[in-house]
Amino acid sequence: MKTLILSASPLAEASVTCRLATRLARSLFPDGEHRVVHLAEAGLPPCDGRLEVITEGENSTGYLPALRPVHDAMHWADVVIFASPVHNFTVSALLKNFIDLMVFESHRPSFMGKKALLVATAMGAGQEKLFSYLQEVVHSWGFCVVGRLGAATSMLEEPWYEAKLRAAISRLRTRVLPALAEPRPRVGLRDLIAFRVWRLVVEINRDNTPIDHAYWSERGWLDAEYYFDCRSAAPARWLAGLIAALVRYTIVHRRLRPVT
Ligand SMILES: Cc1cc2nc3c(=O)[nH]c(=O)nc-3n(C[C@H](O)[C@H](O)[C@H](O)COP(=O)(O)O)c2cc1C
């Protein structure tokens, strides 16, 4: 098994989160090949905020040469471990910038069904919020998150906490290994809705972003329930379709309101 740890701490080699992710990778895949990419050392430019990356394609931007090695490393891996410290209850600024540079992946996802793990550390709290945001992002890139591990840095030296951490890693092992072998992962309501809303965005913006429309059309996603073959509950699929129809109605019939 080839794993890539995408380490998002500014502390690079000294990162506690990266150390935890490495421990998890070695525990899950003792015979695997492990690589680490520190975003702090990747030389990525700040996102310039221009929309051409979406409308004209990622090749139209100047930052692709810097991004390419990281993107390629993610494609090389069987499992990508996203490892971020909690900074003010969300991902580090390094990871947020990386996500912004990768916005084309949300429009034209290329990581279909690739497995991901999320690892976060915080002095105290914020791991859940970080996981919720990050999972939504990487799902929109086509990843399938098979496990998450969050730890409290302030407790890592405590023997009782270490025992709990060891138990959590061992529980993850029993869940993650079967999930990696599962050809048709289970997808929940939230992700089905997110897919249907993206699908709607692509359909509605056919004239503004024809490259998105062509990309989705070539892959058959404009008629699909999800990016890849998956198991999902029939009521969840129905509800996702209903919500997408309601969103379409508010857009087409000019019912969108300013957010207050
Ligand atoms: C800018 C900044 C913001 C932080 N925000 C939080 C926070 O919201 N909640 C928290 O519990 N810890 C917070 N911390 C502490 C880090 O999450 C914690 O030290 C983490 O384990 C560092 O991981 P690293 O060694 O991989 O960088 C923050 C630290 C920094 C530097």
Q: Where are the beta strands (DSSP E) in 72-230?
A: 79-85, 115-122, 144-152
| pLDDT, tens digit, 9 for 90 and up, residues 232-256 | 999 999 999 999 999 999 998 988 8
Q: Does pLDDT of 106 surpass 90?
A: yes
| pLDDT, tens digit, 9 for 90 and up, residues 212-235 | 999 999 999 999 999 999 999 999
Angle at 113 between CA 110 and CA 116, to 5 degrees: 95
Averaged confidence pLDDT in the chain: 96
CATH 3.40.50.360 location in the chain: 2-181
Tell me the whole-structure pTM to 2 decimals. 0.96
- Residue 248 Cα distances to 93, 188, 201, 216, 227, angstroms: 33, 21, 9, 18, 20
| pLDDT, tens digit, 9 for 90 and up, residues 188-219 | 999 999 999 999 999 999 999 999 999 999 99
pLDDT at residue 254, rounded to an integer: 87
Contact residues for 116 (Cβ-Cβ < 8 A; gap 6+):
79, 80, 81, 82, 138, 143, 144, 145, 146
Helices (H), 29-124: 52-55, 64-76, 93-101, 103-107
CATH of 2-181, one of 1.10.645.10, 3.50.50.60, 3.40.50.360, 3.10.129.10: 3.40.50.360
**What distance in angstroms lies between residue 164's CA and the mean position of ligand 1's atoms?**
21
Measuring from atom 16 of ligand 1, which residue has the nearest CA? 122
Strand order in the sheet with 33-38: 33-38, 2-7, 79-85, 115-122, 144-152
Q: With cut-offs at 50, 70 and 90, classify the pLDDT of residue 154.
A: very high
**Six-digit token pair at 69?**
């090695």
**What distance in angstroms lies between residue 121's CA and the mean position of ligand 1's atoms?**
7
Relative to the CA of 17, which ligand 1 atom is closest? 26
Question: What interhelical angle do 159-181 and 16-28 show, nearest 10?
Answer: 50
The candidate with the shortest Cα–Cα distance to 144, out of 153, 152, 155, 135, is 135
Q: Does pLDDT of 153 surpass 90?
A: yes
Q: Does pLDDT of 74 surpass 90?
A: yes
Name the residue of 39, 87, 118, 157 to mutate for ligand 1: max ligand atoms within 8 A of Cβ.
Answer: 87
Q: With cut-offs at 50, 70 and 90, classify the pLDDT of residue 186.
A: very high
Contact 106, 141 (CB under 8 A): yes
**What distance in angstroms lies between residue 126's CA and the mean position of ligand 1's atoms?**
9
**What distance in angstroms lies between residue 18's CA and the mean position of ligand 1's atoms?**
13
pLDDT at residue 60, rounded to an integer: 87
pLDDT at residue 179, rounded to an integer: 95
